[in-house]
Amino acid sequence: MTTAPRIRRRTALGLLGALAAGAALAQGAPAQTVRIGYQKSSTLIAVLRLQGSLERAFAPLGLKPSWHEFTSGLPLLEALNLDNVDVSADVADTVPVFAQAAGAQLTFVAQEAPSPSAQAIVVRADSPLRTVADLRGKRVGFAKAAGVHYLLLAALGKAGLGFKDIEPAYLTPADGRAAFERGAIDAWVVWDPFLSAAQIQSGARVLADGTGLASYQRYYLASQRFARARPEALSVLYAELEKTGRWVKAQPKDAAALLAPFWGLDAAVVEQANGRRSYAVRAVTRERLAEQQRIADAFLAEKLLPRRVDGLDVDLFKPGAAS
């Protein structure tokens, strides 16, 4: 029998947190560091860092950010669960499912609306592979437990194949690009900006993107400890993410010029990648979590998840409740 989902919302502690921050500032105490983990695809966090926006927004609370880069989402959420970082920048929808299966105590802070075309299965321009069905028996590279992992499962299922029908190669984006270019893998499942870089710089050809298969929503998370202790910091972060998302979409060339040197990519690559991401930051609600259960069930069916996960049994932050 399935129990009803327990959705808990952060609706208190904001006033106490603000008073504590004010007292610290009045006493001239050093700013408390908020450790923020991110990955290369964490666009909005990168913009906040480069523009210094979060430093300015956190200052009245007696806080300052520190920045910690990870190769992909799963090690980032592992660090969050181990209390090595306080906040996680956006990770793809699949990543929290694996974190839940491992018993991680995390709070969902915000969600980016779907960006299905920002991840895809690609092959080299001269590859004989033309459809997803052609992947049978082929070596496919991707990051384990990333959003692209679910995209691959969904695409294989639509083509009448299962995970057992391919040879998986678990690779970080950097290792995946190298393997793809030297022909060590037959196909690569990857997300932006790596996807755009492969298309523009290497002529990669898309077999399938997430359209109709995987919506590719991205989640910002915090440790439950931090969410309880500093909810006002999460409210400030949420507001800054919303504002930054609007700026990136309204000023695509300025955003690309800002991010290109930071990412080590051409501005044209960055602009294409940003064009495929929604960057529409919104609150996480029960209704918007519906796909999480489908993702969890898909991995469980393929015996890739150690136990069943209730995609709705998560801790939710309510933006504005702590301000």
* Residue-wise pLDDT tens digits, 109-136: 999 999 999 999 999 999 999 999 999 9
**What gap in Å lies between CA 35 and CA 80, rounded to an integer?**
10
Taking the mean position of all CA atoms in its chain, how far away is CA 283?
A: 15
Asked whether 288 and 278 are in contact (CB, 8 A), the reply is no
Query: Strand ranges (DSSP E) for 32-75?
Result: 32-38, 63-69
Q: Considering the chain, what percentage of its residues have pLDDT values greater than 90?
A: 87
**What gap in Å lies between CA 162 and CA 11, rounded to an integer?**
43
Query: Which residue, among 118, 117, 90, 129, has the nearest Cα to 237 in the 3D structure?
Result: 90
Contacts of 155 (CB under 8 A, 6+ apart): 121, 132, 207, 208, 213
Average pLDDT over residues 67-93: 95
pLDDT at 29: 56
Average pLDDT over residues 149-157: 98
pLDDT at 321: 61
pLDDT beyond 70 at 323: no
pLDDT tens digits along 15-61: 334 434 443 433 455 779 999 999 988 999 999 999 999 999 999 99
Which region holds residue 148: left if phi is over 0, alpha if psi is between -120 and 50, else beta?
alpha
Domains and CATH numbers, the chain: 8-114+217-317 (3.40.190.10), 116-209 (3.40.190.10)
CB atoms within 10 A of CB 75: 16
Confidence of residue 14 (pLDDT cuts 50, 70, 90): very low
pLDDT at 20: 41
Confidence of residue 148 (pLDDT cuts 50, 70, 90): very high
Token pair of 165 as six digits: 């029908």
pLDDT at 100: 94
pLDDT at 11: 39
Q: Write down the mean pLDDT value for the chain.
A: 91
- pTM (whole model) above 0.85: yes
**What gap in Å lies between CA 148 and CA 107, rounded to an integer?**
23
Output the CA–CA distances (angstroms, integers) from residue 231 to 27, 316, 321, in the order listed: 22, 12, 8
Residues in the chain: 323
Asked whether 251 and 275 are in contact (CB, 8 A), the reply is no
pLDDT tens digits along 224-281: 999 999 999 999 999 999 999 999 999 999 999 999 999 999 999 999 999 999 999 9
3-state SS of 281-308 is EECCCCHHHHHHHHHHHHHHHCCCCCCC
pLDDT tens digits along 198-219: 999 999 999 999 999 999 999 9
Phi, psi for residue 166 in degrees, rounded to 5:
-120, 170
